[in-house]
Structure 1
Amino acid sequence: MRQVKRADMVINTRRSLLKASGFGLLLVGAPALAKVTTPVKIPGRQIGMNHLHTSERIGLVYARGPVYLDPALDKLNVFLRDHYTHEVGSMDPGLYDILHDIRNALGARGHYEIISGYRSPKTNERLRTTRGGGVAKRSLHMDGKAIDVRLPGVPLKDLREAAIALERGGVGYYPRDNFVHVDTGKFRTW
């Protein structure tokens, strides 16, 4: 199971604060509790998305350094909810890292267009039995570990190749339906 660092961690001692901060802080105060007088600026990772089924848009910083930001993750969970049932799942933050890295590798500036994020088991079964195939019985969408996207201004083939080059998770190519599937499962392509 993947461990996710969250923003709700507390650093209590001067030693742990020094270890966590590197050399960017000036510490003053009592030995039991360190006080920070100069904040360290940690670069944020951001993501922007437009949902094609709900017409909603989102753009936010979802992580700073190794720490995922809970309020941002909560907003992304709601944004990527099952658009058929409105059920909200818990998306794997590693998906956002993959999308962030793909976009950077391509030098793209646009927001991802979302075809599908979280999918409830009920929705997955309905799609699997009514779409003539193409929907896995045990889809990673149901675990919040998969997303179907395209990136305006980027040829679908290039999006696929950038995802494959990362060798992180699964990459499915659906040119007829105009999207690329990305997931945080084991590395594989189809």
Structure 2
Amino acid sequence: MSKSTQSVISRRGILGVFAATAVVAAPTYSNAFGLLRGAGDVRRVRMYSGRTGESMDTIYWVEGKYIKEVLTEVNHFMRDWRTDQSKTMDPRTLDIMAASHRLLDVSEPFMLLSGYRSPQTNAMLRSKSGGVAKHSLHMVGQAADLRLKSRSVGQMARAAEACASGGVGRYSGSNFVHMDCGPVRHWGG
């Protein structure tokens, strides 16, 4: 076994201990830090994809540091499933997702409908729906469209808006919430 493989296994072993003992995810950035002050020193993201059948339940931040190997796995998980292309996802979006999930007080993972979108996919979706932005933050790895069975669009949106750390779109007709790390704004009904 190579030295680098041993390092990854050791780090993952340590992360497993953190995952087993962690009670809550840490706050996100910006205003969410004040909102969830003292919530812990780890950040966790839980989601699954109905499109690919994949799921993820992982700690991506420990004691002030993002875990590079885990972020790489998140990038792959949040890829454009239509083109199988991935992009580096902005970890601030993960922070908003983690803080929102914590505020919702659920164990159910988010269903990821859309993470990264290639320009081709975004153009195709835009041609079919007026609700797709021409310069979508999905194309730069800064947005996610999410759903929970156990919570309404309104509940999810209010949790994301409480973070005051990015954009929140309510898509009640399609039963999902858009979360991004762009400017603070909200839309939809």
**How would you bin the TM-score normalised by the shorter chain?**
0.7 to 0.9
> Which one has a larger percent helix, Structure 1 or Structure 2?
2
Q: Normalising by the residue count of structure 1, what TM-score does the alignment of the two structures yield? A: 0.75
In percent, how many aligned pairs have the same letter?
A: 39
**Take 2:100 and 2:57, find their aligned partners in 1: how far apart are those partners?**
16
**Take 2:131 and 2:53, find their aligned partners in 1: how far apart are those partners?**
24
Runs of 4+ in 1 over 2 A off after TM superposition: none
Question: How big is the alpha-carbon RMSD for the aligned residues of Structure 1 and Structure 2?
Answer: 1.2
Q: Normalising by the residue count of structure 2, what TM-score does the alignment of the two structures yield? A: 0.76
Choose the corresponding residue for 1:183, options 180, 184, 189.
180
1:65 Cα offset (Å):
2.1
Answering whether residue 157 of structure 2 is matched by residue 160 of structure 1, we say: yes
**Take 1:156 and 1:136, find their aligned partners in 2: how far apart are those partners?**
20
1:182 Cα offset (Å):
0.3
Deviations 1:41-99 (A, max 9, x none): x8321111111211111111101022100010000000000010000111011111111
Answering whether residue 45 of structure 2 is matched by residue 82 of structure 1, we say: no
Amino acid at match of 1:141: H
Deviations 1:101-151 (A, max 9, x none): 11111211111100000001111111111x131111100000000000012
Q: 1:160 aligns to what SS in structure 2?
A: helix
Larger-gyration structure (1/2) = 1
Per mean C-alpha deviation after superposition, the further-off stretch among 42-51 and 65-74 is 42-51
Answering whether residue 107 of structure 2 is matched by residue 101 of structure 1, we say: no
Choose the corresponding residue for 2:145, options 138, 144, 148.
148
Choose the corresponding residue for 1:171, options 165, 168, 173.
168
Q: 1:83 aligns to what SS in structure 2?
A: coil
Equivalent position of 1:38 in the other structure: none
Amino acid at match of 2:73: K
* Alpha carbons 1:111, 1:152 under 8 Å: kept: no
Choose the corresponding residue for 2:124, options 107, 111, 126.
126
**What is the number of residues matched between the two proteins?**
148
Specify which structure has the bigger relative contact order, considering alpha-carbon pairs within 8 angstroms and separated by 6 or more residues.
2
* Alpha carbons 1:112, 1:149 under 8 Å: kept: yes
Unaligned runs of 5+ in 1: 1-41
